């Protein structure tokens, strides 16, 4: 009984930390039209290496999406995305075996985008890559999911 409530407590604590950490992203989404405020709320000094990398990855994925829509070859971000394994997160406990597994799964999907031979299969691979962003976020950081899903072609 005590064990169960401890587990529940730990679960709730973890959940609320995730919520706190990732709800900042929702605020910036709402303020997206208020141009001046945006940079201040998006780039406060205490942001972790991983959070900064992720923000960059979001923008890079937008660039890949744009290139594919225009039937151009996307810029190669593979080396940059690999840094997610070494970048320091806001909460160290996020970087566990599950993160590593989901991270590798994601990087495989990124590879597939660059290895696809036709425009059609590249778009397909790209959508699977975006799904892999979402899968990891469902576990570690649900805040930006809605925004990430919009990257799908
Ligand atoms: C293996 C897990 C994983 C994958 C894959 C992943 N993310 Fe993340 N993402 C995280 C974690 C963990 C954080 C929180 C980082 C922190 O606060 O230190 C995060 C944070 C973010 C943020 C919020 C950054 C901020 O604080 O402002 C965005 C946006 C984001 N990710 C977009 C993406 C996109 C786009 C992809 C795919 C191209 C992606 N993520 C793939 C785990 C992942």
pLDDT of residue 2: 57
Residue 119: alpha-carbon gap to chain centroid:
24
As given in the structure block, the two tokens for residue 98 are 């599950």
Ranges of residues in the chain with a pLDDT under 50 are 26-40, 43
pLDDT of residue 26: 46
Contact 77, 59 (CB under 8 A): no
The closest residue, in CA terms, to atom 35 on ligand 1 is 58
128-22-51-138 Cα dihedral, nearest 10 degrees:
-30
- Within 6 A (CB) of ligand 1 lie 21, 25, 48, 50-51, 54-55, 57-58, 61, 89-90, 94, 99, 102-103, 106, 132-133, 136-137, 140-141, 144, 148
């Amino acid at each position: 009984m005590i064990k169960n409530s401890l587990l529940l407590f730990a679960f709730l604590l973890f959940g609320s930390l995730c919520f706190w950490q990732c709800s900042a992203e929702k605020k910036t989404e709402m303020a997206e039209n208020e141009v001046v405020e945006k940079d201040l709320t998006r780039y406060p000094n205490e942001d972790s290496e991983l959070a900064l990398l992720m923000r960059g990855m979001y923008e890079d994925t937008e660039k890949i999406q744009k290139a594919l829509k225009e039937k151009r070859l996307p810029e190669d971000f593979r080396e940059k995305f690999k840094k997610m394994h070494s970048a320091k997160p806001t909460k160290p406990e996020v970087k566990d075996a599950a993160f590593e597994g989901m991270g590798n799964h994601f990087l495989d999907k990124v590879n597939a985008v660059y290895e696809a031979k036709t425009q059609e299969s590249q778009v397909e691979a790209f959508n699977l890559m975006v799904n892999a962003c979402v899968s990891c976020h469902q576990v570690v950081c649900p805040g930006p999911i809605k925004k990430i899903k919009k990257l799908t072609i």
